[in-house]
Amino acid sequence: MSGIEQLLRPELRGRSPYGAPQLDVDVQLNTNESSYPVPDEVVRAVVTALEDGLGGLNRYPDREFTALRTALVGYLGDRSGVALRPEQIWAGNGSNEVLSHLVQAFGGPDRRALGFTPAYSMHPIITETLGTPWVDGQRDADTFDLTVESAVEQAKEVDPHLVFLCSPNNPTGSALPFDVIEAMLQAAPRAIVVVDEAYAEFAREGTPTALSLLESHPRLVVTRTMSKAFALAGGRVGYLAASPEIIDALRLVRLPYHLSTPTQTIARVALEHADRLLETVEAIKAQRDRLVTELGALGLRPVPSDANFVLFGGLADAPATWQALLDHGVLVRDVGIRHHLRVTAGTPQETTRFLAAMAELAPTHLLTKENP
């Protein structure tokens, strides 16, 4: 053990940092980014707004990001029909930062956080690296579903202070029934219950949002991001909606002036052009559904998805298939689930490239009695 490693916090020794491969390949379908660039008119609007504000960079940004919060309230109200107030909104540099704020405010070494695997891998990473013990709850091993009975049983056993739920879930893509969320709020009476809705804009018609539960559940938090549907992964803007009391608690742990003036400007202008930026959502959903249909036709086992990606099983050796796809110029994600890989829904051309490669590989990569 090196001298620096000896100085490192013991619980961090031997850990690997988070990081999906960033490789220069033709078809990049591994991190659920949008394959569509930001439209030119939105780029021009952002540049104009940034130019107008550059002379004021000698001053700190608006600590309360007032204009952005107002814009987020308008967007969520228009899209979900849920009436919120600016004092219910919090934002940060990506949804990971607002998740970090929640753990800083409501976690701690003498508290426990509960999540249900497989789910977003950053939930336990954020929790544990900030010093809060993580309890790895489980979903159904075959369907990846989380039932009310299972969730309640696990919550009562753990008695957590923080609960993380994903809807739609990453990496499975499935939306969470409302009765699971409401049951969790009852079964974990001292917990802040976080519903991560990073992929909510891609949910199938009729899928409800947990935003509608906020009014009657003061311990509920709903997190969102502008990285996916808004095609702003490089902008690093995430946000949450919760009770004003929770927002007040987050002020205690945020760093001073944590959201820069350019970041606030980019997000605000993007929200002004929400209709234009979200035009690609239906096209992405069409490719997602195409992936489910055509992967099934190849003998694979795709999970029906409410997100912008598809998890598919039926592979004899998932890492070997991942490498074979990469050799074909297609990068997907190995999420560590045996016999499964995850693929982002990209453009029609990217989907075709991926499906053509899988059709070529399927005869020798499918999980069969002869190829276990």
The pLDDT score that the predictor gives to residue 156 is: 97
Q: At what angle do helices 95-106 and 244-251 cross, to 10 degrees?
A: 90
Judged by DSSP in three states, 79 sits in helix
Are residues 194 and 165 in contact, defined by beta-carbon separation less than 8 angstroms? yes
Distance (Å, rounded) from C-alpha 341 to C-alpha 321? 8
Pair 116, 165: CB distance under 8 Å: yes
Please return the burial class of 341, using the count of CB atoms within 10 Å of its CB with bins 0-12, 13-18 and 19+: buried
Helix (H, G, I), strand (E, B) or coil at 225: strand
Residues 170 and 147: beta-carbon distance below 8 Å: no
Contact between 202 and 33 under an 8 Å Cβ cutoff? The reply is: no
Closest CA to 25 of 342, 358, 328: 328
SS3 301: strand
Rounded CA-CA distance 222/240 in Å is: 5
Q: Tell me the pLDDT of the chain (372 aa) as tens digits.
A: 678 988 999 989 989 888 788 999 999 999 999 999 999 999 999 999 999 989 999 999 999 999 999 999 999 999 999 999 999 999 999 999 999 999 999 999 999 999 999 999 999 999 999 999 999 999 999 889 999 999 999 999 999 999 999 999 999 999 999 999 999 999 999 999 999 999 999 999 989 999 999 999 999 999 999 999 999 999 999 999 999 999 999 999 999 999 999 999 999 999 999 999 999 999 999 999 999 999 999 999 999 999 999 999 999 999 999 999 999 999 999 999 999 999 999 999 999 999 999 999 999 999 875 666
Q: Which domains does the chain have, with CATH numbers?
A: 3-30+279-365 (3.90.1150.10), 40-275 (3.40.640.10)
